[in-house]
Structure formats: structure tokens, C-alpha cells
Amino acid sequence: MGTRHRAASVYLFARFGAAWRMGVIADSRYGGERTAGGHVEAGESPAQAALRHCFDATGCRARLLPLAGHPLPADYPHPISGQVADASNTAPWRVVTVPAAADSRQAEQHLHVDHIHVAVIDRPYGPRTPGEHPFRWIAVGDLAGLDAPADTRILGGALFDAVPAAVAAQRPRVQRDEMLHRELLRRRDVDQEFRSNLPARLTDEVCARWKEVDEDNTAWLRQVITRVGWPGQALCGEDGAEAAWLLAQHADRQPHLQAAWADLLAEAVTAGDAEPWHLAFLEDRIAVHGGTERGLQWFGTQFRKGPGGQWEPFPVRDPEGVDRRRAELGLDPLAERAKQIAKENR
């Protein structure tokens, strides 16, 4: 087994409400489940290969985490192949030598010099394409019974402990900006007062004022995000962060901005600097307005008037799982929310 091939693997994690999960793929070639990974092509860095294998296998776009200083578990079975001096986001966690079975490139057993990466998927329900393999998210309690190599279970257990701190460390520490906080709340109040007092019949004058309010808030929020990034809870408090999300929800005339802001909001959610339900509402808003996923929402947060005048949620992807997804975010069951919407709009 002297032949060595460069390889790259990536352990994927995502935050679902307050819980973290690890992504695994089912690969019929080897049986069981494993992390995403494979060979490093000529002219490709290990980091590029890790992200490529992640996207090809799962259809999700990942963000690499720097974990160079975190040790491998003592019971990890494979030898380290070299030191990782680079602590950048794209550096592998460790480089190890792993026995590999025969494959399309080598007709006999050989060795993989595996560049192990760790990554997060900030929008696990967000825009994605069909992957090459069945893919699912597992909780830490699922590792013991996972049909996967022992090294996958060992590293997975260690990373469930390491990833949350690594994600939080990536988000810059900021001081509270009281001026921004106050302006966010002021704009939120103007927005809500206007919408709460809409007349039954929308005149041209009312529609023009509506457009003016939304476009002014959108232009202002765009300047803020360009300057400071997504305004999370550390910067402007819980109510200020919620106000920023509300203004983003109402930026419907600029869907390209909503899509870009969803990425930034998702990073804040992953780091614990924004509420997960904020992202769920914005994801659904983008979806039903035609931005992604053929208009199907994941969480059932967006409602419309049906043919008979009754309020109903826009079509939901995987409706059997919608209440589970809502519960992860602390939202009530969809049927209960539908009753509430109907009562509020009598």
C-alpha cells in the first residue's frame, strides 16, 4: 500500500435552532455513511477540493472553519502526516494518512493523505441543488449508532464540542452602537405604524407612501450593512437586531439584496448573534417571491388569501416535516399559526 493520493475530507455542521448537527452522506460504493470528501485534483488546493466535494455530494455551499490549534482526539486511529502551520480559514484541521480501498484511480489498496477540513453550512434549508448522494443531519446522540468508520464517529464527537466555539470566535467582537440601535427602533416603529393603519381600499397615494417607506428603509439598511455587516444582537441589542430583520423582510422590491442579506443573517444566526426564526422568515419570504426553490417555503411563515378569501400558508416543501422544523425554532405548529392569522384578519 505504498501508493499515496492526496485527498480532502470535510466534516459539515449546521445550527438548527439551539441544536448543532453534523451532516453525513450515504455512499453505495462503500456502504454505510461518511463525511464528504475525495481526491484532490491537479491544480486544486485541498480546501478547494473539500468545498467541491461538499457541494457535489450535498448540494450545499459550506464555509470553512479554522481549527488548526484544536488537537485530534487521543483515540483517533490514523497517523498525522505533517504539521499544519497555517491558521487561516482555508487550512485543513489536520493532515493524516488513511488506508483506502481500491477505487477508480487505483485498482488495489493504497493510502490517502487526507486533508481534514471542518465547515459550517449557514443556510441548511437555503438555496441548494440536488446532491450526488443521500444526505442527512444527525445529532450528537446519533453518532454511537452511525453506520460509519470508527474515525468518523471519533472525530464527529470531538467536533460537536469544538465547532460552536470556533464559529463564535470568527464573528468580530463589537461594542454596542446606541445610535444605530435607536435609529433601527425608530424605523421599525414608522414601518409598523404605517402597516397597522392601512385603509381597506389602497389608493394610489397610499401605495406611493408605502413604497416610499420601504425604499427609504431598504436604502438606509443597505448603507448600514455595507458599513458594519449584519447588525446583530451584540451591536444593537435583541430588539435592534429584530428591527433590522423586519426592515430586510420588507425590502421586497430589492430581492437581490434580500438574498445577499440572508447569507449575512445566516452567519450571524450560526454564531448565536441573531435569532434562528429571523432567518426562517426571510428564507420563506425570498422563496415565495420567486427567489429560490420554485416558490416553496420551508417553515410556513408566509400566508396569502386563498380562492375563497380565507388566509392560508403559501405552499410548503416537505409539509410532513414543517411542524418539526418550526418547533426547532420555537414556533408554534402551523395549524395553530393559521388559526391565529385568520383571527387577526377577520
Q: What is the mean pLDDT of residues 313-337?
A: 95
pTM exceeds 0.85, yes or no? yes
Supply the pLDDT for residue 124.
Answer: 92
Contact partners, residue 131, CB within 8 Å, separation at least 6: 25, 55, 56, 57, 58, 59, 60
pLDDT tens figures, 51-92: 999 999 888 899 999 886 788 899 998 888 765 556 566 788
Q: Please report, as a single letter, which amino acid is at residue 281.
A: F
Residue 293 clears pLDDT 50, i.e. is over it: no
Q: How many CB atoms lie within 10 A of CB 78?
A: 18
Average pLDDT over residues 320-331: 96
Torsion of CA 46, 49, 54, 56, to 10 degrees: -170
Give the sign of the dihedral formed by CA 321, CA 326, CA 330, CA 331: negative
Cα 274–chain centre separation? 12
**CA–CA dist 150, 77 (Å, integer):** 8
Closest CA to 273 of 184, 189, 183, 173: 173
What is the average per-residue pLDDT within 215-231?
97
Q: What is the pLDDT of residue 54?
A: 92
Mean pLDDT of 202-220: 95
**Other Cβ atoms closer than 10 A to 222:** 17
Given a contact cutoff of 8 angstroms between Cβ atoms, the answer to whether 329 and 277 are in contact is: yes
Average pLDDT over residues 224-237: 97
24-50 pLDDT per residue, tens: 999 877 779 999 998 999 999 999 999
pLDDT at 75: 92
